[in-house]
């Protein structure tokens, strides 16, 4: 049984309310930070903890915070990215639904470290009920004196605002989120300047994921060094993984970074193995990260066991590795059609592209149309190479990472499952049957990079 830092008290009765949360040691980190620590000391603890951004990119949080510009007379902001829209990811929702005060607490403590008097929680539009839960938690905290002027007599003022988005995937990109928060069209900004210098309302801003900010609570409570003892190498602490797909036990799990992938996917404590058939492929970090065949997910290119860490998952590069991403884990069994799944992913990115820069605006739609043709038994052999070429021309040429996110699933699907794409060309009549794949599954997926 792994340690629980964020989920320690999640099943206690009344944990959603302030009283229940407080009874289980809530708001200790605020007391500790505001009464006994300086903002620099809190930042130092976060740096020591080795905490990395939990939203997908895995950038060290302490370093991000230390980049924050601190000009005189200009306010600074903390913005919490609760626009959790990565397909397959639902960890932040679970956290905010069940234990909203941990986020409020993390926001107060983090804002103290950053010197931010106001912080914002930007919650995706589909989570409107979560926004209500958060607003209630904030109102409770304010009534109890955890928010407002001169908190705990320390002279630190803080206010939290909740803003609900309108359901655009692109608003999870930090600069698009800031634009949307300012009331503008959610188009990503061109970087530099980075938000740490010019963010919300042109003021220095830190944008962090919900889970990152929540993790600040145990870090301040127990000390950064204690947190850094969990995990391996540069992947420290615990990570929430929302697991789904063809597994026996879907759900949100808090894992110690560093357990083996085999343990995570097959042990009864976590995913509990495949439901009935055999695993074919795994997407470990949300739909944007490369899909990998099951065997490749278990073993690194050097034959060692792959671990659930940032480094180990990306070992082997794009040819044989994948990424930790946001922790939206899903697995496919051998009855699933990879072409259909890739088409579905691409359809999503086509729909969610903001339309600002040309490769993503036009390329995502083109990929979707080609994949649709393949999936419906009207494709040609050249289409596979065409797809490869389109994704290659999107990746790296766009303003924001959405272009890359749209390209990687297509690239990895062709790389590892080219045989399925070819099957769709050679067996046109068969694939016209909508249940084609469940009836005639492939025995084994391609093991190595082809294209």
Residue listed under structure tokens 């304010």: 142
Which residues have C-beta within 8 Å of that of residue 288, sequence separation ≥ 6? 56, 86, 325, 401, 404, 405, 406, 408, 409
DSSP string, 259-313: -BHHHHHHSTTTT-SBSSS-EEEEE-SSTTSPPEEHHHHHB-TTSSBPBSSHHHH
| Terminal Cα-to-Cα distance of the chain (whole angstroms) | 41
Which of 43, 168 has the CB closer to another protein? 168
| Minimum CB–partner distance for residue 352 and another protein (Å) | 7
Residue count (the chain): 451
Q: CA separation (Å) from 130 to 107, 142, 322?
A: 16, 18, 31
H/E stretch holding 151 reads strand 148-151
Site string for another protein, 172-211 (x = CB under 8 A): -------------x----x---------------------
Site string for another protein, 152-171 (x = CB under 8 A): ----------------x-x-
Helix axes 128-143, 100-114, angle to 10 degrees: 70
| Minimum CB–partner distance for residue 351 and another protein (Å) | 7
Which of 9, 392 has the CB closer to another protein? 392
| Minimum CB–partner distance for residue 184 and another protein (Å) | 10
| Minimum CB–partner distance for residue 52 and another protein (Å) | 19
Query: Going along 16-115, which residue ranges are E strands?
Result: 77-82
Q: Does 351 bind another protein (CB under 8 A)?
A: yes
Q: Does 359 bind another protein (CB under 8 A)?
A: yes
Q: Does 396 bind another protein (CB under 8 A)?
A: yes
The CA distance from 385 to 387, in Å, is 5
Q: Does 398 bind another protein (CB under 8 A)?
A: yes
Residue listed under structure tokens 């209630």: 136
Of the candidates 119, 364, 412, 445, which one interacts with another protein according to CB under 8 A?
364
Which of 280, 350 has the CB closer to another protein? 350
Which of 38, 358 has the CB closer to another protein? 358
Stretch of 87-95, 174-182, 228-236, 385-393 contacting another protein, by CB under 8 A: 385-393
Which of 108, 399 has the CB closer to another protein? 399
The CA distance from 88 to 83, in Å, is 13
Q: Does 350 bind another protein (CB under 8 A)?
A: yes
Q: Does 393 bind another protein (CB under 8 A)?
A: yes
Q: Is there a contact between 137 and 98 (Cβ–Cβ < 8 Å)? A: no
Q: CA separation (Å) from 39 to 31, 45, 156, 402?
A: 13, 10, 11, 34
Q: Does 355 bind another protein (CB under 8 A)?
A: yes
Q: Does 399 bind another protein (CB under 8 A)?
A: yes
Stretch of 227-235, 303-311, 353-361, 437-445 contacting another protein, by CB under 8 A: 353-361
| Minimum CB–partner distance for residue 367 and another protein (Å) | 11
Footprint of another protein (CB under 8 A): 168, 170, 185, 190, 350-359, 361-366, 369, 386, 389, 392-394, 396-399
């Amino acid at each position: 049984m792994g340690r629980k830092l964020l989920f320690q008290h999640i099943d206690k009765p009344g944990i959603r309310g302030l009283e229940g949360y407080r009874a289980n040691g809530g708001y200790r980190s605020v007391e500790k930070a505001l009464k006994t620590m300086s903002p620099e000391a809190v930042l130092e603890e976060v740096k020591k903890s080795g905490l990395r951004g939990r939203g997908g990119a895995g950038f060290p949080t302490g370093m991000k915070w230390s980049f924050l510009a601190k000009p005189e007379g200009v306010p600074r902001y903390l913005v919490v990215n609760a626009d959790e829209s990565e397909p397959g990811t639902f960890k932040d929702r679970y956290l905010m639904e069940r234990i909203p005060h941990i986020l409020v607490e993390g926001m107060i403590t983090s804002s103290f470290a950053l010197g931010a008097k106001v912080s914002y929680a930007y919650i995706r539009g589909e989570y409107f009920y979560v926004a209500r839960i958060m607003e209630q938690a904030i109102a409770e905290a304010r009534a109890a004196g955890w928010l407002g002027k001169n908190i705990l007599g320390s002279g630190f003022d803080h206010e939290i605002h909740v803003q609900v988005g309108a359901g655009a995937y692109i608003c999870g990109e930090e600069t698009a989120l800031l634009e949307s928060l300012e009331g503008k069209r959610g188009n990503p900004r061109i970087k530099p300047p980075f938000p740490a210098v010019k963010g919300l309302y042109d003021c220095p801003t830190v944008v962090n994921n919900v889970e990152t900010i929540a993790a600040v609570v145990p870090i301040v409570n127990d000390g950064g060094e204690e947190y850094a003892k969990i995990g391996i190498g540069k992947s420290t602490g615990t990570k929430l993984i929302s697991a789904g797909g063809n597994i026996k036990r879907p759900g949100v799990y808090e894992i110690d970074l560093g357990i083996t992938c085999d343990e995570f996917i097959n042990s009864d404590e976590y995913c509990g193995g495949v439901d009935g058939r055999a695993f074919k492929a795994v997407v470990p970090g949300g739909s944007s990260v490369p899909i990998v065949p099951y065997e490749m997910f278990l073993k690194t290119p050097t034959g060692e066991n792959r671990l659930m860490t940032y480094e180990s998952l990306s070992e082997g590069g794009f040819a044989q590795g994948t990424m930790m991403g946001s922790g939206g884990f899903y697995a496919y069994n051998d009855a699933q059609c990879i072409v259909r799944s890739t088409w579905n992913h691409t359809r999503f990115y086509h729909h969610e592209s903001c339309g600002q820069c040309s490769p993503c605006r036009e390329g995502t739609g083109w990929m979707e149309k080609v994949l649709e043709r393949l999936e419906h038994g009207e494709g040609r052999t050249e289409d596979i190479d065409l797809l490869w070429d389109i994704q290659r021309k999107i990746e790296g040429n766009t303003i924001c990472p959405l272009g890359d996110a749209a390209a990687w699933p297509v690239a990895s699907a062709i790389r590892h499952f080219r045989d399925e794409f070819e099957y769709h060309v050679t067996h046109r009549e068969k694939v016209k049957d909508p249940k084609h794949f469940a009836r005639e599954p492939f025995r084994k997926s391609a093991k190595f990079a082809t294209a």
